Amino acid sequence: MTATGSLDPADWQQRRTSFGSVAADYAALRPGYPADAVAFLLGDRPRRVLDLGAGTGLLTDVLAAAGHEVLAVDPSAEMLAQLRARHPGVPAQVGGAEAIPLPDASVDAVVAGQAAHWFDPEPAAAELRRVLRPGGVVGFVWNTRDETVPWVAALGAALATEARGHEADQGVVAAFAAALPADVATARSRVVQRVPPEQVVGGIGTRSYVATMTPDARAAFLGGIRDLLATHPDTAGRDVLELPYRTDAHRLTPR
């Protein structure tokens, strides 16, 4: 498993650093995470948790609500500005998984929501081990559209060529399990967004493969998504859509 997955390294790096340009929409339009996923990763006891690749704070929302002490790190200052607005009391620093700006043995857990597929496993695993206290855990969680629903499957097909399977590359879990090394436990839950069609389109616009398009290409691509929602028999004429996601949480316990 390489850091870039199936993408050209230059393309991967461009996508990896693209989120600042869509930070406000990301905060407003991306789905949150179910509380049971965080409970599975961290248990019931309050912990000192690093939210790595914290972005705009969507996972921080659930961590803080569960009573954990949260520290946030993300490569994008623009994304962290959104997080600070949501959680002014959460310490937030610019940084990446390969060089975490925290002292040794400073956190009980490191979690990453919708982010670990942007980490380079070997150097990141060394950093995770460095910042974790003895007995600490690593938690990776992804929301993935539930394409067992026909209109969501049609949406996924429309995105597939550009997405190239990189939104939630679960090969990352195996790579980190080998690099740490760690034992892995996995749980699945669900979350549903109830949003108007235009917000579905806007949410797609926050994906890295869309954020890095030229303005004309982006407008044309999102126009195609808008047309799909306007004409698919399960979505045509509806003011509010239920966009289901499955949430896969992976708890890695270093050996």
Q: Is the pLDDT of residue 221 over 90?
A: yes
Q: What is the per-residue pLDDT for 209? A: 86
Per-residue pLDDT band at 139 (split at 50, 70, 90)? very high
Domain count, the chain: 1
Answer whether residue 28 is part of any domain: yes
Query: CB-based contacts of 63: which residues, under 8 Å, 6+ apart?
Result: 38, 42, 49, 51, 70, 111
Task: Provide the domain limits for residue 133.
Answer: 9-145+166-192+245-254
Answer whether residue 59 is part of any domain: yes
Answer whether residue 23 is part of any domain: yes
Q: What is the per-residue pLDDT for 22? A: 72
Answer whether residue 249 is part of any domain: yes
Q: What is the per-residue pLDDT for 76? A: 94
Q: What is the mean pLDDT of the chain?
A: 91
Share of the chain above pLDDT 70, in %: 89
Answer whether residue 18 is part of any domain: yes
CA–CA distances in Å: residue 185 to residues 73, 141, 173, 226, 241:
24, 12, 10, 38, 32
Task: Write out pLDDT tens, residues 55-114.
Answer: 999 999 999 999 999 999 999 999 999 999 999 999 999 999 999 999 999 999 999 999
Angle at 179 between CA 58 and CA 97, to 5 degrees: 35
Answer whether residue 123 is part of any domain: yes
The span from the CA of 113 to the CA of 58, in Å, is 8
Task: Write out pLDDT tens, residues 141-156.
Answer: 999 999 999 999 999 9
Q: What is the per-residue pLDDT for 231? A: 98
Q: Is the pLDDT of residue 2 over 50?
A: no
Q: Is the pLDDT of residue 32 over 60?
A: yes
Which residue did the predictor score with more confidence, 168 or 74? 74
- Residue 237 tokens read as 């004429």
Which residue did the predictor score with more confidence, 198 or 19? 198
Q: What is the per-residue pLDDT for 207? A: 86
- CATH classification at residue 72: 3.40.50.150
Q: Is the pLDDT of residue 11 over 50?
A: yes
Task: Write out pLDDT tens, residues 192-206.
Answer: 999 999 999 999 999
